[in-house]
Amino acid sequence: MIEKQGQRTNPPVNEWPDANGRYGSFGGTYVPEILIPALARLQQAVDERLHEPLFQAKLQAEASCWIGRPTPLTPARRLGERWGGELWLKREDQAHTGAHKINNALGQALLARSMGVRRIVAETGAGQHGVATAAACARLGLPCTVYMGSIDVARQAPNVARMQLFGAEVHSVESGDATLRAAIDEALRDWSHDPEGTYYLLGSAVGPHPYPYLVRELQSVIGLEARAQLYEASGRLPDKVVACVGGGSNAIGLFHAFRNDEGVELHGIEAGGRGMAMGEHGSTLTRGSTGVLHGTKSYLLQDSEGQIMETHSISAGLDYPGVGPEHAYLLESGRARYHSASDEEALAALAECAKTEGILPALESAHAFAGARRLAEENPGELILIGCSGRGDKDLGILMQANGGPGA
């Protein structure tokens, strides 16, 4: 095991993206001309306010009293005994509204309010980003519209009810694949109709620059806290950091603080779905190729004609054919490694975590657990930090079905 000494200084300033919003050859701003002025305004707001002390003070005050930060770092001893590693869980499931999504939603909503916008639009997959955005908008008094694929509306009904209780208007999207990707298509269309008065609150580290950067900056609190907490508790840094990757916001948020810690491996776990045939999974980095979708150049699941493929995952949040450009860069540069975990592996890891630790991770997070299990079994005795990005209450319906019906 690698002992880490004297690693508590802050990492150096961000190397990526460059001035053009590029992470190596990935990223950029591939949007219709109608959105260029809106992105320029967003860029200006990010440059002027995001790291400005007053804005940060406001954000941190709300993060503390409303989100409940810092979230705990929990040793998972019984699970670690079973899997053969020293496991620590970064508990974003304990953040207000039940997932890491709130870190980004609150930060962007504060930024949007400072820009004087009239309304917020957002897309959502599992519903967690929609719920987080609806809650942040309620808290800040901003009107909010959420687009959600009709398949996701059906499989995540409690989150639809929560968004509505927070006063958001929820639009069920029937077009396209009727999941996260169709919801992004529709949110982009909405934004294009009124780019001056509408703020698009994008939920993952995807989309045109500066979104992948903005989302990473707002989510990097996850890794910064976890790194300090782990060092405090165990006096060392992890051997491996493991997070699930759909668009990749919780993973980039967890990875970022460790990017310059050479001995720390970064592992992203994608949705393996029902198998590796095209259309059966959401393993963009492990099975995809370079392309442009939703404003950014990154890895994509596409056919030889450049048409975007349908995806499958038991977790709505990982059911997406694209991925954030910084992950594509981390893959190509070799700094992070990406694997996939199947629906079945995720369900099994989730069940084990629930039984041994009294913690019910979200189906998305369960992929990180499944990946960590494999890594722990292959490398016994290592210290593994797992991103528990959200809680599984929203998935109860799917979990009961997967277990053969209620009470099974």
Partner 1 sequence: MSGARRLETRIRSAASEGRIALMPYVIAGHPTLDGFARTLLQVANEADVVEVGLPFTDPTADGPVIAEAARKALAGGANLDHALGAVKEARAASEACFVLMSYLNPLLARGAERVCKELVEAGFDGLIVPDLPLEESLELREPADASGLALIQLVTPLTPTERIAKLSAATRGFLYAVTRKGTTGARAEAESIHAYLDRVGSVCGLPICAGFGLREPDQVQALLGHAHGAVVGTALVERLSAGEDPRPFLQEFRGPGCNSQ
DSSP code of 98? G
Is 31 a binding residue for partner 1 by CB under 8 A? The answer is: yes
What's the rounded Cα separation, in Å, for the pair 382 and 375? 9
Q: Which is nearer to partner 1, 92 or 280 (CB)?
A: 280
Region 36-65 residues binding partner 1, contact defined as CB under 8 A: 36-38
Q: Tell me the CA distances in angstroms from 76 to 70, 87, 250, 385, one per residue in order.
A: 18, 5, 20, 10
Least distance to partner 1, CB of residue 317, Å: 19
Least distance to partner 1, CB of residue 225, Å: 35
The arrangement of strands across the sheet holding 265-273 comes to 73-75, 86-91, 383-388, 240-244, 265-273, 336-342
Q: Which is nearer to partner 1, 30 or 66 (CB)?
A: 30
What's the rounded Cα separation, in Å, for the pair 249 and 274? 23
Q: Which residues contact 84 (CB under 8 A, 6 or more apart)?
A: 376, 377, 380, 381
Q: Which stretch binds partner 1 (CB under 8 A): 59-67, 84-92, 151-159, 285-293?
A: 285-293
**Residue entry with tokens 């060392």:** 236
Q: Where are the beta strands (DSSP E) in 305-399?
A: 336-342, 383-388
Is 118 a binding residue for partner 1 by CB under 8 A? The answer is: no
Is 32 a binding residue for partner 1 by CB under 8 A? The answer is: yes
Choice from 295, 317, 390, 392 touching partner 1 (CB under 8 A): 295
Number of residues that bind partner 1 (CB under 8 A): 34
For 122, the token pair is 């957002």
Least distance to partner 1, CB of residue 291, Å: 5
Contact predicate 148/183, CB 8 Å: yes
DSSP code of 194? -
Q: Which is nearer to partner 1, 34 or 396 (CB)?
A: 34
For 120, the token pair is 């917020």
Least distance to partner 1, CB of residue 207, Å: 11
Choice from 292, 348, 351, 354 touching partner 1 (CB under 8 A): 292
Contact predicate 392/360, CB 8 Å: yes
Is 231 a binding residue for partner 1 by CB under 8 A? The answer is: no
Is 115 a binding residue for partner 1 by CB under 8 A? The answer is: no
Q: How many CB atoms lie within 10 A of CB 3?
A: 9
Catalytic residue positions? 101, 123, 389
Q: What is the DSSP string of 59-74?
A: HHHHIIIII-PSPPEE
Least distance to partner 1, CB of residue 37, Å: 5
Is 293 a binding residue for partner 1 by CB under 8 A? The answer is: yes
H or E, element range at 56: helix 53-62
Q: How many CA atoms lie within 13 A of 99 on its CB side?
A: 33
CB burial of residue 258 (10 Å; 0-12, 13-18, 19+): buried
Q: Which is nearer to partner 1, 159 or 296 (CB)?
A: 296
Is 333 a binding residue for partner 1 by CB under 8 A? The answer is: no
Is 195 a binding residue for partner 1 by CB under 8 A? The answer is: yes
Least distance to partner 1, CB of residue 308, Å: 4
Is 235 a binding residue for partner 1 by CB under 8 A? The answer is: no
Q: How many CA atoms lie within 13 A of 151 on its CB side?
A: 19
Is 29 a binding residue for partner 1 by CB under 8 A? The answer is: yes
Is 197 a binding residue for partner 1 by CB under 8 A? The answer is: no
Is 196 a binding residue for partner 1 by CB under 8 A? The answer is: yes
Is 9 a binding residue for partner 1 by CB under 8 A? The answer is: no
34 three-class SS: helix
Is 355 a binding residue for partner 1 by CB under 8 A? The answer is: no
Q: Which stretch binds partner 1 (CB under 8 A): 119-127, 140-148, 187-195, 337-345?
A: 187-195
Is 304 a binding residue for partner 1 by CB under 8 A? The answer is: yes
Q: Which residues form the interface with partner 1 (CB under 8 A)?
A: 20, 28-34, 36-38, 175-176, 181, 185, 188-189, 192-193, 195-196, 290-295, 300, 302, 304-308
